[in-house]
């Protein structure tokens, strides 16, 4: 089989593979196992999660070889049983976060801020709610937070409505960053031009998979670029209207087997 005959499947995690409560439905699990066992299919986790967190999900579904795009495209991970802990960072993109941190702090004076220490954990200005960050978490001030180039800045605003958070970020017109707004007052700031789509395109070229043989499945605002990038972009039934509008098709919700339906169509 030539690389051009393979299919690259980019799979979001939260709200797509797992429920927002972290549950993996049996029908989704069975479908994922079938995909992993099919030599024609290259399953790539594509997530806003950190590498540490994404690798925990990879182990959970039995994915021990291949690739994952993490931190909304800033970090690409290679899964390899021979590597330390079973994975290694193959590529990362960083940026100077100081200007963005200063602008965010003016707009969100009470927000928790964090930067990712890729492969290790996070530096934070204040502890995040339990379970939201993984790895080693170290509390620092704003100056220390942006003292060196980073792969991602996280803004966590718990005092404002998520729609208001999104509106304020849009108004800021942050310089030299890409950003994605989550469901619950969570904003990811990434290097300019970096997204799940940019990392997936680099990986597609690396693997030699034809552009016309790419599939992406997601539900969030940070999935819009990869849904447009893929030859077949599939939005989950529970996705927001703008996410569905970016997709070629819409499947069922996560609870009603929408993911399994798409994956089983590829096996």
Q: Are residues 39 and 112 in the same domain?
A: no
Domain range for 153: 98-190
Q: Are 29 and 259 in contact (CB under 8 A)?
A: no
Residue 203's CATH number: 3.40.50.1000
What is the pLDDT averaged over residues 204-224?
A: 96
Among 105-109, 223-227, 242-246, which is the least confidently predicted range? 105-109
Q: Are residues 208 and 82 in the same domain?
A: yes
Q: Are residues 56 and 89 in the same domain?
A: yes
Provide the pLDDT confidence category of residue 58 given band limits of 50, 70 and 90: very high
Q: Are residues 54 and 67 in the same domain?
A: yes
| DSSP symbols for 24-89 | --HHHHHHHHHHHH-TTEEEEEE-SS-HHHHHHHHHHHT--SEEEEEGGGTEEEEE-TTSGGGEEE
State how far the alpha carbon of 230 is from the alpha carbons of 69, 152, 161, 200, 264, in Å: 15, 24, 32, 9, 18
Q: Are residues 116 and 168 in the same domain?
A: yes
Q: Are residues 168 and 216 in the same domain?
A: no
CA angle 43, 45, 46 (to 5 degrees): 125
Task: Please say which residue of 165, 190, 215 terminates a domain.
Answer: 190
* Structural domain count of the chain: 2
Residue 179 has pLDDT above 80, yes or no: no
Q: Are residues 143 and 174 in the same domain?
A: yes
Residue 170's CATH number: 3.30.1240.10
Q: Are 91 and 202 in contact (CB under 8 A)?
A: yes
φ, ψ dihedrals at 30, nearest 5°:
-65, -40
Q: Are residues 66 and 108 in the same domain?
A: no
What is the pLDDT averaged over residues 221-238?
A: 96
What is the pLDDT averaged over residues 199-216?
A: 97
pTM confidence score: 0.92
Q: Are residues 116 and 175 in the same domain?
A: yes
The predicted-structure confidence for 131-157, as pLDDT tens digits, reads as follows 888 889 999 998 999 899 999 999 998
Task: Please say which residue of 164, 190, 216 terminates a domain.
Answer: 190
Task: Please say which residue of 190, 207, 238 terminates a domain.
Answer: 190
The predicted-structure confidence for 99-118, as pLDDT tens digits, reads as follows 889 988 988 898 999 998 88
Provide the pLDDT confidence category of residue 170 given band limits of 50, 70 and 90: confident
């Amino acid at each position: 089989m030539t690389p051009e005959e393979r299919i690259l499947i980019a799979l979001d995690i939260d709200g797509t593979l797992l429920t927002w409560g972290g549950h993996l439905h049996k029908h989704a699990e069975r479908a994922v196992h079938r995909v992993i066992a099919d030599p024609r299919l290259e399953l790539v986790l594509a997530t806003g999660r950190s590498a540490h967190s994404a690798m925990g999900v990879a182990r959970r579904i039995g994915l021990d070889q291949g690739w994952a795009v993490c931190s909304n495209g800033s970090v690409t991970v290679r899964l390899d049983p021979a590597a330390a802990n079973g994975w290694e960072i193959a590529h990362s993109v960083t940026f100077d976060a100081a200007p963005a941190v200063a602008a965010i702090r003016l707009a969100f004076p009470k927000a928790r801020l964090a930067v990712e220490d890729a492969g290790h954990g996070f530096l934070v200005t204040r502890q995040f709610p339990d379970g939201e960050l993984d790895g080693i978490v170290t509390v620092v001030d704003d100056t220390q937070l942006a003292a060196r180039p980073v792969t991602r800045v996280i803004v966590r605003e718990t005092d404002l409505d998520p729609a208001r958070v999104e509106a304020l970020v849009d108004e800021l017109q942050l310089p030299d960053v890409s950003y994605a707004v989550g469901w619950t007052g969570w904003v990811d700031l990434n290097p300019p031009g970096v997204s799940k789509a940019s990392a997936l395109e680099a990986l597609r070229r690396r693997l030699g998979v034809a552009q016309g043989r790419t599939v992406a499945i997601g539900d969030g605002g940070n999935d819009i670029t990869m849904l447009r990038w893929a030859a077949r972009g599939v939005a989950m039934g529970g996705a927001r209207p703008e996410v569905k509008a970016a997709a070629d098709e819409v499947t069922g919700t996560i609870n009603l087997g929408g993911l399994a339906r798409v994956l089983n169509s590829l096996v």
